[in-house]
Structure 1
Amino acid sequence: MTTNQLTTAIATTLAQHFPNIPIHPATGSISPNPDSKGITYRLLSAQLTRERSDRFVQSHAYEIRWLEADNIPATLPDELFEALETISVEGTPYRATELRWETENDNPRLLVYYTMRTTKVSESGTTMQHLEQRHTALKAANE
């Protein structure tokens, strides 16, 4: 699973759970436009760590923001938790390892962490095979 696939799955999940709310990727600005409405999402970090020669840990942290800081629905934290706790990435469910609702500069945000363990699968190579050829000589019986 790639970071782009996970990000797309988060956007799709948010759009499915909040069909009447605009969902868009966050811009570079930390403080959103005061006229903006809806939910933004952005990747905060992505990390791939090797545990062993054939095993890796992928860690992704996302920030989800409700853009109307003065008009937060009371059920929003619970709805976001429910929507993002388990997401489907190309048919495979992934569960968040941590969901944390916090306030930064009076702007509420949800931090979502996904951690996956992956194993490098070695390709099964075909072993060398010995090909044996035999030549048979045919003699003419007309001697």
Structure 2
Amino acid sequence: MTSNELTTAIANTLTQHFPNTQIRPSTGNTSSTPDSQGITYRLLSAQLTRERSDRFVQFHVFEIRWLETDHIPATLPDELFEALETIDVEGVTYRATELRWETENNTPRMLVYYTMRTTKVSESTSTMQQLEQRPTTLKAANE
């Protein structure tokens, strides 16, 4: 699974759970303007580490921001937790390993952490085949 696939799945999940709210990628600007409304999302970090030769761990951290600082629904944290705790990425369900609700610069945000273990699938090799040997007779070159 790629970071782009996970980001798309988060956008789709937010759109499904908040149908009457504008959902868009973050521009990275943490200050809100009076006309800012809706929810923004962005990938804060992605990391791939090797556990052993054929096994890897992927870490993704996403930031979800509510832009209306003067109108924060009381149920918003619970709704975001419910929406993002498990997400579907192309038919595979992933569970968040951590969800953290906090406020930064008077803007509420949720940090969502997803951790996945993947195994490198080695290419299939053909099995050993039987070698057939036939006896042959060598003839002299001057015959």
Q: TM-score, normalised by structure 2?
A: 0.89
2:18 alignment partner in structure 1: 18
2:98 alignment partner in structure 1: 98
RMSD: 1.7
Query: CA 1:34 to 1:133, structure 2 compared with 1: closer, same or farther past 3 Å?
Result: farther
Flag as ranges the 4+ runs of structure 1 deviating above 3 A. 127-134
What's the CA shift for 1:127? 3.4
Which string of whole-angstrom CA distances, capped at 9 and with x for unpartnered residues, describes residues 73-118 of structure 1?
A: 1110000000000000001000000000001111110000000011
Check whether the contact 2:30–2:105 (CA below 8 A) recurs between aligned residues.
Answer: no
Q: Which segments of 5 or more consecutive residues in structure 1 lack a partner in the other structure? A: 135-143
What's the CA shift for 1:129? 3.3
Amino acid paired to 2:62: Y
Q: How many residues in Structure 1 have an aligned counterpart in Structure 2?
A: 136
Worse-superposed segment, 26-35 or 1-10:
26-35
Which string of whole-angstrom CA distances, capped at 9 and with x for unpartnered residues, describes residues 10-32 of structure 1?
A: 00000000011010000031213
The aligned runs of 1:80-99 (5 Å cut-off) are 80-99=80-99
Q: TM-score, normalised by structure 1?
A: 0.89
Amino acid paired to 1:5: E
Percent of matched pairs sharing the same residue: 80
2:108 alignment partner in structure 1: 108
1:138 alignment partner in structure 2: none
